[in-house]
Amino acid sequence: MEKKQDIRVHPITRVIDDINRIFFKMGFTLVDGPELETEYYNFDALNVPKDHPARDMQDTFWIKPSKDFAGVERRLMTTQTSAMQIHYMEKNKPPLAIICPGKTYRHEATDATHEMQFQQFEGLFVDKNISLATLKSVLNKFFDEFFEKDIEVRFRPSYFPFVEPGAEIDISCFKCKGEAGCPVCHGTGWIEIMGAGVVHPKVLNTMGINPNEWRGFAFGGSVERLAMLKYGIDDIRLFYSGDLRLVNQF
């Protein structure tokens, strides 16, 4: 007798699949990139100054250079997926729309919401005649479909070196309408979800894209955070514990 195969898909893989599927439907191209990166792609090309505290702030895993690589630019484990955008813009001219999920590394203490290795996803689109309203409608569409609910999106001003202006993105709570005691939004009705902004003209210039002619929008967030929200998981460390009691629920 043929045994029926029991296929389980890890929640992180599910979320990455959802991200790719939803953005692919909106016309985005899926882009992959290296986990071992040079300082140029991870920081310099993204307008992070040499002495900027972000290089320490992110507590980067720098790779010890071996004798064989004397004189070669120092390397690090990617601290964010934005470097993939630079690789892509070097080879492709606008208009463009890409989505890049990938592993990132930061040397920090682990707790219920922090891991040293985690997954980010990053989106970028460069076109003429687009505005923040375009970014808002793209994100709105994504969250509506991801949470299978009518989700509202709001922007709050923030700072990231590679965008100007930058924004924190909040979404309306998918569990309640701002009720006291809600474990997801803590009664505020809003959930902090990702960062976004208008691509800094310096970054476009570095890539040979004329910022007077083209506008770029970028957004990025944590895959684990989306998975924790969607599936009600309260400790990020569970994803990488190898505990089958977690995976067997999916």
Binding interface with Zn ion (CB under 5 A): 173, 175-176, 182, 184-185
Question: Which residues is 98 bridged to in the sheet?
Answer: 29, 124
- Residue 149 CB, nearest approach to Zn ion (Å): 12
- Would you give the DSSP letter of residue 14? H
Contacts for 30 with CB less than 8 Å, ≥ 6 apart: 20, 23, 24, 98, 99, 100
When the beta carbons of 6 and 234 are compared against Zn ion, the nearer one is 234
Q: Which is closer to Zn ion, CB of 133 or CB of 180?
A: 180
Query: Which CB sits closer to Zn ion, 189 or 211?
Result: 189
Count of residues for the chain?
250
Residues 111 and 126: beta-carbon distance below 8 Å: no
| CA separation for the pair 48, 50 (Å, rounded) | 7
Least distance in angstroms from the C-beta of 189 to Zn ion? 6
What is the Cα–Cα distance from 101 to 120, expressed in whole angstroms? 6
CB 121 within 8 A of CB 196: no
Q: How far is the CB of 123 from Zn ion (least distance, A)?
A: 25
180 vs 244, beta carbon nearer Zn ion: 180
Answer whether 84's CB lies under 8 Å from 109's CB.
no
Q: Which is nearer to Zn ion, 128 or 177 (CB)?
A: 177
Question: Could you give the CA distance from residue 115 to residue 199 in angstroms, rounded to a whole number?
Answer: 28
Least distance CB 178 / Zn ion (angstroms): 6
Closest contact distance (angstroms) between CB of 170 and Zn ion is 12
What distance in Å separates the CA atoms of residue 5 and residue 248, rounded to the nearest whole number? Answer: 13
Nearest approach in angstroms of CB 89 to Zn ion is 38
Query: Which of 67, 177 has the CB closer to Zn ion?
Result: 177
How buried is 213 (Cβ within 10 angstroms: 0-12 exposed, 13-18 middle, 19+ buried)?
exposed
